[in-house]
Chains A and B, each alone.
Chain A
Amino acid sequence: MSQPFRLNKEGLINRNKKISFTFNGKKLFGYEGDTIASALIANGIHLVGRSFKYHRPRGFFGAGVEEPNAKLQVEFNGHSEPNVNATEMELVEGLSATSQNCWPSVNFDVGAINNFLKMFFPAGFYYKTFMWPKSFWYKIYEPFIRKAAGLGVASIEKDKERYEHKFEYCDLLVTGSGPSGLASAYAAAKNGAKVILAEDKPRFGGTLLTDDVSIDNLSGKDWAEKIITELKSMPNVTVKNRSQVFGYYDHNMLVMFERVSDHLEKKSKFTPRQRLWYIRAKETILSTGSIERPIVFGNNDTPGIFLSAAAKEYMKVYGVLVGKKPLIFTNNDSAYETALEFKKNNVEPIILDTREEHSSELIDEAKSKGIDIRFSHGVIVANGYKKVKSAKIGKLNKDKNSFEKIETIECDCICVSGFWTPSVHLASQSGNKLKYEEKIDAFIPDKKKQHETSVGAANGSFTLEESLKHGFENGSNLSAKITETKTEISIPNVNEKKYGAHDKFWCMPLPKNENPKRFVDFQNDVSVSDIEIALREGYRSIEHVKRYTTLGMATDQGRTSNLNGLQLVSNIENKIVPEVGHTTFRPPFTPITIGTIVGREVGMEYMPTRKTPMHEWHEKNNAVFVDAGAWKRPRYYKQGNETLFEASKREAKNVRENVGICDVTTLGKIDIKGPDAAEFLNRVYTNAWMKLPVGKARYGLMLREDGIVMDDGTTTRISENHYHMTTTTAQAANILSHLEYYLQIVWPELNVNVVSTTEQWAGAAIAGPKSRDMLSKLYPDLDVSNDALPFMGYREAEFFGVPSRIFRISFSGELAYEINVKSDHGMFMWEKMMEVGKEFGNQPYGTEALSTLRIEMGHVAGPELDGRTIPSDVSLNGLVSKKKDFIGKNSLGREAFNVESRQKIVGLIPIDRKSSIPEGSHIVQDQNAKLPNPKLGHVSSSCWSVENNNPFSLAIMKDGKNMIGKKFFAVSPLKNKSIEVEVISSHYVDPEGKRVRS
């Protein structure tokens, strides 16, 4: 169980705690504080996956978010997660990781044949190959692509973890705890600002953990620790590690992804796995640092090739060697620090520097330590399939396009550095148009669009001294503006090495007749030749090149590839990089889990559940519920083995024959008060309202300004200046906003107030020929005769001691009443009704029976008032006043609303009197006509008429009533049905409306 590549003492891991895990079934161990990557490298394992397109062997390349290759399927804490970045995921006991995109194994992968057939996989391969024939897509192409080019496998198990959302406000959000971030946070905190400091990694400090520097005579690491400790002790500061700010949105809202417990072996029951923070910051410091970019050369994707800073991080943070015979390939001084670190650990590196021989502080130090440095040199091609074995290196001529000398040297890893790219993602997302900084060959933030300030390496300042200075200054100035307090802080003394100039060199030339793949984008397998093809084929815009080649489109968002891609395009096109421009940076910066995005809004918590006061009774009496918006309504009350069809038929029939009660609490209710209430209603409804007496209800119709029916319902005059409006369940919220709109904006001169009372009242409808008899038992002291309480009458009376409202209104078309009591008395009312109703054969009925009753009466509802119909379309033109003005009136005169052939409401019955007509069926003349078969209308609502004992439907049909008596087909390709139907009146039962008035 020895770890051949673990150093004896270096690193920040906890060597006292071993953690066992498996990789591709093999049992291994690492230490607390390791990532999967560092633990595998310590064990000498580099081959971790296969590339996306060619299935080439791939190993680790970076040590953090920049990693393009090492995406693993990881099982831990009882769940399986695909595409986990091995360089970020911390090791936990019992974790099991497996390679992705390989079959049957990472060592022997059938798909690697693609690598040898690469002429079939050039740029634009997907576009060219899978375009034709179209019919092949579903059965052949898609399954093939999925199988051959997948990442990991998403679990189909229910995610049992808990995810949370948090909303936070602060004065200053600092994104990254490197030197500039720490300095900013510290200065702002000292000014009394409310600060949030977010660090993506488990450890605070950023480059201070790996750079050989000192601040105020402390090592970088110790200084970072001191600052963090002080920040943590301040009540106005929130310090968060394992938290990445991944998106910058409007009005300075940033979103942060916190990995709360993935690294914990045990956690308490309600600890979330991950947390999403919505942070509204007055000011934001972007101290996101920079990412090293590679130099492109042949077979540069071979396992064992690392970014040089990653190699250093593995040594300094994890005590792990990425190799024992390293080649350092660089165009700048920073890689010398990696070489020196190797040397310090008794490993002899060879440095290949593309620059001509010169001198700098770091070069001199490397020389003095006896490190082999070869100037004007670079790696041409790496040799080795599953691991680097040697490298063909070349001495470059002065033009850097040809070679003076080529030789092969042995090595077991290549650490490459092509200089540094500021992480400008968040700045760009904030709306900042970036500018190209010639000095560093990269983009940096330009003029700010929101309240964001980039500092340190993210702003292109690569020295510690500058980073700290900018950090302290900006943190102090930005916060002082908010807190109006300025605490003087002296900027600490810094000791760091001076870097010389870098070489603007990013891609090794190839010797004649050699053509190894040179990858620009590792994760999406985009090589230099792919980009050349794209340009040859006429793709010029960088956005087009990106889509055609898929450059930078993988989950790593091209962190290590974008700039080299731009360099290549600008070279070929003979443009300078800023002319080529950059592609768009989109959130999230790194992939986040869907669970985090969803948060707690899953299952029952997906939306609130609204229950009526009688809900428990319905539950106890076998109600089967249906969703009506957020409401739960009884659809039917199941008796024995009844089906929905049987139960609803029984319930509806009982209403027609005896009496039934229905929970109508969910109807929207709006209280309207004020001296101008009548005038307001008169403008809102299409019919006349000025003369409605107190104690009377009226059915009303509302239009939108474009003449389309918006809603219907009854409104009752409770007293002189007090009305009670009902709306449909679905439209309740919209109608309230609609009324408020007119009162606040259009007619503020009207003295009227509106307020929703939906939840204040419990409602029950009593419907059926025996409803009056039942009502008289419910109100023994009240005269409920037709004269005393006529149709559309209203009374207030005590219901067994509780105040109640009685409306004589009907949706079922039967003699009916609606009783409202305060919500708290709803259950009392319902139970009393059930008790008293027994002798009249009362049964509760649900929404399905309710629909049946209204459909056979020809009463319109949502399916007819579908946002396309005007009053005359649904036979409600009798409610449209010719005398007065109202909302939408002027639109009713429009030509298209007045043509005779307009689609209008009719009734349909099947010729065989047996076949139910599916809702949504199209009405056609000839069921066998060639497609597209001209559509004459559609079926809006269907039921089984309990009155006539056969199916009946409402339809909206061309020519409307003129079609009565004619025969058509109702076809439903969805249900594979075609039913011959006859057109009849939409009022199938009691067309004169006698029953409601009886």
Chain B
Amino acid sequence: MLYIKCPYCGLRAQKEFSYGGDATVKRPNINEEVSSEDWDKFVYMRKSPRGKHVELWQHIAGCRQWIKVQRDTATHEIFQTAKVTEEIR
């Protein structure tokens, strides 16, 4: 079970979180023209990296904030967590 540091609540067990996918995907702006290719990329295309990956988790059984987690997909090592408004380099 992972041990995830919620930027609001501190280190909490994985049980309290739910996974939310790739955090680097950016939704095309609302009310703006978007090409089919870009839209399809946003909806369907995801990288599946082995290694470092910035992903979204939601602290559903805690503060209910969505957060960013930089995790190694192979080893589960967590390098960094951040608020969604913050950048992870």
| Given known contacts A251-B1, A253-B3, A737 and B18 CB-to-CB distance under 8 angstroms | yes
Answer whether residue B34 sits at the interface, using C-beta atoms and an 8 A cutoff. yes
| Given known contacts A251-B1, A885-B31, A890 and B39 CB-to-CB distance under 8 angstroms | yes
Answer whether residue A275 sits at the interface, using C-beta atoms and an 8 A cutoff. no
Say yes or no: A744 contacts B66, CB within 8 Å.
yes
Say yes or no: B3 contacts A280, CB within 8 Å.
yes
Q: Which of A251, A449, A890 contacts B34 (CB under 8 A)?
A: A890
Q: CB-CB < 8 A to A884: which residues of B?
A: 31
| Given known contacts A431-B75, A737-B18, A745 and B43 CB-to-CB distance under 8 angstroms | no
Q: In chain B between 8 and 39, which residues have their CB closer than 8 angstroms to a CB of chain A? A: 13, 18, 20, 27-28, 30-32, 34, 36, 39
Say yes or no: B56 contacts A891, CB within 8 Å.
no
Bound CA span A836–B18, Å: 46
Say yes or no: B75 contacts A745, CB within 8 Å.
no
Answer whether residue A125 sits at the interface, using C-beta atoms and an 8 A cutoff. no
- Shortest CB–CB separation between residue B87 and chain A, in angstroms? 13
Q: CB-CB < 8 A to B20: which residues of A?
A: 741
Say yes or no: B30 contacts A683, CB within 8 Å.
yes
Say yes or no: A744 contacts B39, CB within 8 Å.
no
- Shortest CB–CB separation between residue B65 and chain A, in angstroms? 7
Say yes or no: B76 contacts A251, CB within 8 Å.
yes
Bound CA span A884–B60, Å: 31
Bound CA span A345–B37, Å: 85
Say yes or no: B1 contacts A249, CB within 8 Å.
yes
Q: Which of A253, A683, A737 contacts B1 (CB under 8 A)?
A: A253
Answer whether residue B88 sits at the interface, using C-beta atoms and an 8 A cutoff. no
- Shortest CB–CB separation between residue B31 and chain A, in angstroms? 5
Bound CA span A746–B42, Å: 13
Say yes or no: B66 contacts A705, CB within 8 Å.
no
User: CB-nearest residue of chain A relative to B64?
Assistant: A740
Say yes or no: A741 contacts B76, CB within 8 Å.
no
Bound CA span A251–B72, Å: 12
Q: CB-CB < 8 A to A167: which residues of B?
A: 13
- Shortest CB–CB separation between residue A2 and chain B, in angstroms? 53
Say yes or no: B43 contacts A705, CB within 8 Å.
yes
- Shortest CB–CB separation between residue A983 and chain B, in angstroms? 33
Bound CA span A252–B1, Å: 9
Q: CB-CB < 8 A to B44: which residues of A?
A: 706
Q: CB-CB < 8 A to A251: which residues of B?
A: 1-3, 76, 78
Bound CA span A733–B66, Å: 15
User: CB-nearest residue of chain B relative to A890?
Assistant: B39
Bound CA span A885–B1, Å: 40
C-beta contact mask, A21-63 vs B, less than 8 Å → 1, else 0? 0000000000000000000000000000000000000000000
Bound CA span A891–B31, Å: 14
C-beta contact mask, A663-691 vs B, less than 8 Å → 1, else 0? 00000000000000000000100000000
Answer whether residue B48 sits at the interface, using C-beta atoms and an 8 A cutoff. no
C-beta contact mask, B53-66 vs A, less than 8 Å → 1, else 0? 00010101000111
Bound CA span A741–B31, Å: 19
- Shortest CB–CB separation between residue B78 and chain A, in angstroms? 7
Answer whether residue A803 sits at the interface, using C-beta atoms and an 8 A cutoff. no
Say yes or no: A891 contacts B39, CB within 8 Å.
yes
User: CB-nearest residue of chain B relative to A169?
Assistant: B11
Answer whether residue A537 sits at the interface, using C-beta atoms and an 8 A cutoff. no
Number of A positions contacting B (CB below 8 A) = 27
Answer whether residue A130 sits at the interface, using C-beta atoms and an 8 A cutoff. no
Bound CA span A767–B9, Å: 46
- Shortest CB–CB separation between residue B33 and chain A, in angstroms? 10
User: CB-nearest residue of chain A relative to B38?
Assistant: A890
Q: CB-CB < 8 A to A747: which residues of B?
A: 30
Answer whether residue A992 sits at the interface, using C-beta atoms and an 8 A cutoff. no
User: CB-nearest residue of chain B relative to A253?
Assistant: B1
Bound CA span A705–B28, Å: 11
C-beta contact mask, A248-261 vs B, less than 8 Å → 1, else 0? 01111100000000
- Shortest CB–CB separation between residue A600 and chain B, in angstroms? 15
Answer whether residue A278 sits at the interface, using C-beta atoms and an 8 A cutoff. yes
Say yes or no: A740 contacts B66, CB within 8 Å.
yes
Answer whether residue A748 sits at the interface, using C-beta atoms and an 8 A cutoff. yes
Say yes or no: B3 contacts A741, CB within 8 Å.
no
Bound CA span A740–B65, Å: 8
User: CB-nearest residue of chain B relative to A733?
Assistant: B60
Q: CB-CB < 8 A to A250: which residues of B?
A: 1-3, 76
- Shortest CB–CB separation between residue B82 and chain A, in angstroms? 12
Say yes or no: B58 contacts A737, CB within 8 Å.
yes
Say yes or no: A745 contacts B3, CB within 8 Å.
no
Say yes or no: A891 contacts B43, CB within 8 Å.
yes
- Shortest CB–CB separation between residue A247 and chain B, in angstroms? 11
Say yes or no: A745 contacts B84, CB within 8 Å.
yes
Q: CB-CB < 8 A to B65: which residues of A?
A: 744
- Shortest CB–CB separation between residue B74 and chain A, in angstroms? 10
Bound CA span A250–B85, Å: 27
Bound CA span A733–B42, Å: 24
Which residue, B2, B30, B75, has most C-beta atoms of chain A within 10 A?
B30
Bound CA span A253–B12, Å: 12
Q: CB-CB < 8 A to B39: which residues of A?
A: 890-891
The 5 closest A-B pairs by CB, nearest first: A251-B3, A890-B39, A250-B76, A885-B31, A744-B66
A-B contact pairs, 27 of them (CB 8 A): A249-B1, A251-B2, A251-B76, A252-B3, A253-B1, A253-B3, A280-B13, A431-B75, A705-B27, A705-B43, A706-B43, A737-B18, A737-B60, A740-B58, A740-B64, A741-B20, A741-B58, A741-B66, A744-B66, A744-B84, A745-B56, A745-B66, A747-B30, A884-B31, A885-B31, A885-B32, A890-B39
**Which positions in A face B, CB cutoff 8 Å?**
167, 249-253, 278, 280, 431, 449, 683, 705-706, 733, 737, 740-741, 744-748, 884-885, 890-891, 893
Apart from A280-B13, A740-B64, A890-B36, 10 more pairs, CB < 8 Å: A250-B2, A251-B1, A251-B76, A278-B1, A737-B18, A737-B60, A744-B65, A746-B27, A748-B84, A890-B34
